[in-house]
Structure 1
Amino acid sequence: MSLLKAEGLGIQFGGLKAVDEFNFEMDKDQLYGLIGPNGAGKTTVFNLLTGVYKPTSGQILFDGKSLLKMTPTQITQLGIARTFQNIRLFKKMSVIDNVKVGLHHSQNYSLLSSILHLPSYFKGEEAMQEMAMSLLRVFDLEKYADVKAGNLPYGKQRKLEIARALATAPKLLLLDEPAAGMNPIETEELMETIKIVREKFSIAILLIEHDMKLVMGICEKIAVLNFGTVLAFGTPDEIKNNPDVVAAYLGNEE
């Protein structure tokens, strides 16, 4: 059974079909890319998958369950996490507290325990602290644990956002242009980070990205969107040699 399956997915805003007949399928542990020109509908697809938008047509199945009637919170709890093109950290909070925000779903102490500071509260907080530090070590961020997130260099903020997403224990991680705004060195580090995440956490990753070196370097398969529809789907070699893709998109890339 596929981990994620979209069938005939579409959404219309007024008279504009932002996504139309989007068909897509991926299994556990796979790393796929979603590319296309600006305005092709890539982020709209992410918003559909995470419940931010409700489709006007089609179906989304995740781990065999329909997502159509679920809220974004329910979808997160089911196992889909995402990052955003524009970093959305709690910048005045510490690095470790940003990660702990994603871990609160895993704690089972009651509100009363929290208010009264009962032993179960302290036990839960200690467990979260340990889990958060463990995640920070994966990204070599543990030495910044008490630094305000907004004071981190840009590339490290990107890493922190991925760490926070992983704190929700997802089965599928959606990365929305993680290399946006990065210099070449930061992009190389990001590529290695994504490889480490995949190997260490054994999760599926769906990536939106304009940096073709990154996409072609780490993705197993790539779907190309153009005007809201899938223009092509295949391996990196198949995509970069597809004349329709070259004409619509890659031919405009440096």
Structure 2
Amino acid sequence: MAMLDVTKLSISFGGLRAVDELTMQIEEGGLVGLIGPNGAGKTTVFNMLTGVYLPTEGGIRLDGKNLIGKKPADICKMGVARTFQNIRLFPKLSVLDNVKAGLHNQVTYSLAESMLHLGGYSKKEKDMDQRALEILSVFGLDSSANDLASNLPYGKQRKLEISRALATSPKLLLLDEPAAGMNPNETGELMETISLVRKKYGVTILLIEHDMKLVQGICEYLYVLNFGKLLAEGTPAQVLNDPAVIKAYLGD
């Protein structure tokens, strides 16, 4: 059984069919790309996977459990985390506290503990600091732990957003254009980091990306959307040499 099983997933906005009967499966530990031209429906798929949009039709199962109709916070607790095409950090919080925000779905306090710092509050905070620093070290951000997130260079802000998503201990990590705005050197570092994260944490990854060098470098399998429909699927070599895919990206 696939970890993520998407069956005939569809959504309409008014009379527009934004995603039309998308079916895809991702095995545990896989690293899969969802690609296609701008406006193909890729981010809309992510919004359905995370409960932001309710599909018009179709099914989504994670380890056999239905995600349709669940709230985004509940889907996160079930093991799905994401990043965004436009970075959504807490700019006035420290790098460390941004990652700790991701850890809070796993740690709970009573009202008295949180207000008066009673009971196990201090130990829980210390444990979260340690866990957050461990994650930041994977991304080379531990030395910037006390810096404001807004003061990080753009490429490091991208990495911080992935760090925060990883802090929720996801089974499935959805990366929405993680290399957007990065220079070639930063993209190369990001490729190495994503591969390391997958190996170290055993997380399954589905990513949207326009940088074909990154896609070819790390993805094992690709799904291609065009006008909301599945245009092609297969290995990167198969898909990126498909005439229909080339036409969709480049036109006639």
Aligned pairs for 1:44-193 (under 5 A) are 44-193=44-193
Within 2, Cα distance between the matches of 1:98 and 1:113?
21
Q: How many residues align?
A: 251
Aligned pairs for 1:1-40 (under 5 A) are 1-40=1-40
RMSD, aligned α-carbons:
0.9
Cα offset for 1:203?
A: 0.7
Q: Partner of 1:114: helix, strand, or coil? A: helix
Cα offset for 1:114?
A: 1.3
Cα offset for 1:69?
A: 1.7
Q: Partner of 1:17: helix, strand, or coil? A: strand
Instruction: List per-residue Cα deviations over 1:191-245 (Å, max 9, x = no partner).
Output: 1111111111111000100000000110000000001010000001110121111
Cα offset for 1:2?
A: 1.0
Cα offset for 1:116?
A: 2.0
How does the TM-score come out when normalised to structure 2? 0.98
Is residue 196 of structure 2 the alignment partner of residue 199 of structure 1? no
Q: Partner of 1:187: helix, strand, or coil? A: helix
Q: Partner of 2:205: helix, strand, or coil? A: strand
The alignment-based identity, stated in percent, is: 62
Within 1, Cα distance between the matches of 2:238 and 2:162?
29
Alignment correspondent of 1:208: 208
Within 1, Cα distance between the matches of 2:225 and 2:69?
25
Within 1, Cα distance between the matches of 2:223 and 2:149?
33
Within 2, Cα distance between the matches of 1:186 and 1:137?
17
Within 1, Cα distance between the matches of 2:35 and 2:171?
22
Q: Partner of 2:120: helix, strand, or coil? A: helix
How does the TM-score come out when normalised to structure 1? 0.97
Cα offset for 1:117?
A: 1.2
Cα offset for 1:115?
A: 1.4
Within 2, Cα distance between the matches of 1:183 and 1:241?
25
User: Which stretches of structure 1, 4 residues or longer, exceed 2 Å deviation after superposition?
Assistant: none
Unaligned runs of 5+ residues in structure 1 are none
Instruction: List per-residue Cα deviations over 1:93-125 (Å, max 9, x = no partner).
Output: 000000000011221332221112113111111
Within 2, Cα distance between the matches of 1:105 and 1:19?
31
Alignment correspondent of 2:237: 237
Within 1, Cα distance between the matches of 2:99 and 2:248?
39
Which amino acid counterpart does residue 7 of structure 1 have in structure 2?
Answer: T
Which amino acid counterpart does residue 77 of structure 1 have in structure 2?
Answer: K
Which amino acid counterpart does residue 40 of structure 1 have in structure 2?
Answer: A
Instruction: List per-residue Cα deviations over 1:46-85 (Å, max 9, x = no partner).
Output: 0000000000011111111111120000000000000001
Within 2, Cα distance between the matches of 1:207 and 1:108?
30
Q: Partner of 2:137: helix, strand, or coil? A: helix
Which amino acid counterpart does residue 34 of structure 1 have in structure 2?
Answer: L
Within 1, Cα distance between the matches of 2:227 and 2:136?
39
